[in-house]
Amino acid sequence: MRKSKKVIVSCAVTGSIHTPTMSPYLPLTADQIASDAIAAAEAGAAILHLHARNPKDGSPSQDPEHYKLFLPRIKQSCNAVVNITTGGGLGMTLDQRLAAALWAKPEVASMNMGSLNFNISMAAEKIAEFKEPWEKPYLEMTKDFILSNTFKQIERGITELSANGTRFEFECYDIGHLYNLAHFADRGLIKAPFFIQGVFGILGGIAPEMEHLLHMRDTADRLFGEDYYFSCLGAGRHQMPFATINALKGGHVRVGLEDSIYISKGELAKSNAEQVAKIVRILKELSLEPATPDEAREMLGLKGADQVGF
């Protein structure tokens, strides 16, 4: 893994996992997404990982028209790197998932590196009454759902987005996904440095155990040597512990309401910025310095904010 003196802090602002019922603080409208993203950048996030929502009911959307409502404002108001999802919402087609990133031509797009059972159905069991009719079926269907990321799908996403100069946050939900990434690297379809995001705590993927974090890092070392940067996220209550341990070991971190709606045990986070401020405070207490957006750009070899499509 490439060593750096600065820690890249990413913030996953919206996501598609949580529903409006789960937290009143989840940004849903374009104005809320923009305001939350800008505040997260001001709190110290170098990269903003963004999903859009349908403003009518808060459901996940990959419609470029919905992204157009907030991306220009974010770009005008802060210097953060914009990272557009290609995971989209659960159950979307690949065409739908790629649409926003193909239009926006961002500096970074997420790229899931393998198919997996993606089960968040248990969340529905904890909610007595939902705000929107789509929420309960959306959660419950994941009991019989495969998040599809075949080799053909991944190759298409990499090829089409790379043509726009977009680089990737490679989301790896299990050890095998690292080997999938190595496959595409060996074929020359992607170039170093690779920005790997280890995802821990989704049922169907790798469990949120510290031993697994170390194993994933060791495996990436064997596969990629010094050709990668390793960031990680821990879902739910694992968010801050995983970020802290990975940073202490020379890695990078991701927080945000996509990954956890809490700021501490039993207390809902009131904003993405609150989570960013907390991890930045932890990093500084440990004598670790968050990277600026331009430092992150240099580390990851990004094309620059002036080269995007929005």
pLDDT per residue as tens, the chain (310 positions): 988 889 999 999 999 999 999 999 999 999 999 999 999 999 999 999 999 999 999 999 999 999 999 999 999 999 999 999 999 999 999 999 999 999 999 999 999 999 999 999 999 999 999 999 999 999 999 999 999 999 999 999 999 999 999 999 999 999 999 999 999 999 999 999 999 999 999 999 999 999 999 999 999 999 999 999 999 999 999 999 999 999 999 999 999 999 999 999 999 999 999 999 999 999 999 999 999 999 999 999 999 999 999 9
What is the token pair recorded at 65?
Answer: 């028209």
Name the one residue in this structure whose structure tokens are 């220009």.
72
293 and 79 Cβ atoms separated by less than 8 Å: yes
- Distance, in Å, from the CA atom of 90 to the CA atom of 146, rounded to the nearest integer, reads 9
- Distance, in Å, from the CA atom of 29 to the CA atom of 52, rounded to the nearest integer, reads 8
Domain spanning 6-307: CATH superfamily: Aldolase class I (3.20.20.70)
- Distance, in Å, from the CA atom of 122 to the CA atom of 63, rounded to the nearest integer, reads 28
Which residue in 196, 199, 192 sits closest to 213, CA to CA?
Answer: 199
Which residue in 100, 140, 102, 98 sits closest to 123, CA to CA?
Answer: 140
Q: Is the model's pTM score more than 0.85?
A: yes
- Burial of residue 179 (CB within 10 Å: 0-12, 13-18, 19+) is middle
- Distance, in Å, from the CA atom of 170 to the CA atom of 230, rounded to the nearest integer, reads 10
